[in-house]
């Protein structure tokens, strides 16, 4: 375990109004000992990037069910990079076809998760990423 809690921002970008999955993920991350900030529905990429930087998070998790993942993930990634925060892991999930997951990961987005993924898999991924980043820092 890290010497401090992993800080995660969970966000619902765009017009998608379904946030049950995001709330389940946020609760699971919190129960796993992470500090979680949930920004709520209808966030713009700019709002998400600004909140991530202001809250000094380690991870941003986007939940996207609307089909706008090929626009929203790259935009948040670009904004974090522009502000010099390439050190923040951008991950997430939702209804995302495998080929789009691969394309987003090729752009620098972290691992993405689809429906039915165990929260344990997400928790393990974030912890492993954090441990590796802390080791390299």
pTM for this predicted structure: 0.95
- The Cα 65–Cα 85 span in angstroms is 26
What is the tens place of the pLDDT at every residue in 47-76? 999 999 999 999 999 999 999 999 999 999
3-state secondary structure of 93: strand
What is the tens place of the pLDDT at every residue in 79-117? 999 999 999 999 999 999 999 999 999 999 999 999 999
Place 15 in a pLDDT band, splitting at 50, 70 and 90.
Answer: confident
Q: Is the dihedral of CA 57, 62, 68, 69 positive or negative?
A: positive
- The Cα 51–Cα 53 span in angstroms is 5
- pLDDT surpassing 60 at residue 9: yes
How far from 98 is each of 3, 17, 80, 101, 102, CA to CA, in Å? Answer: 35, 23, 24, 5, 6
- The Cα 103–Cα 18 span in angstroms is 24
Place 136 in a pLDDT band, splitting at 50, 70 and 90.
Answer: confident
- pLDDT surpassing 90 at residue 135: no
- pLDDT surpassing 70 at residue 1: no
Say yes or no: domain 7-136 is CATH 3.40.50.280. Answer: yes
Mean pLDDT of 10-35: 94
Q: Taking the domains of the chain in order of start, what are their residue ranges?
A: 7-136
């Amino acid at each position: 375990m890290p010497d401090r809690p992993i800080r995660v921002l969970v966000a619902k970008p765009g017009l998608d109004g379904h946030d049950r999955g995001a709330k389940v993920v946020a609760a699971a991350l919190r129960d796993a000992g992470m500090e979680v900030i949930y920004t709520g529905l209808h966030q713009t990429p700019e709002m998400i990037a600004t909140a991530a930087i202001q809250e000094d998070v380690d991870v941003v998790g986007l939940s996207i069910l609307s089909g706008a993942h090929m626009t929203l993930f790259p935009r948040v990634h670009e904004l974090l990079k522009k502000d010099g925060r390439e050190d923040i892991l951008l991950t997430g999930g939702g209804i995302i076809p495998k080929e789009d997951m691969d394309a987003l990961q090729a752009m620098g987005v972290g691992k993405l998760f689809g429906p039915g993924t165990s929260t344990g898999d997400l928790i393990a991924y974030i912890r492993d990423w954090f441990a590796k980043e802390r080791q390299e820092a």
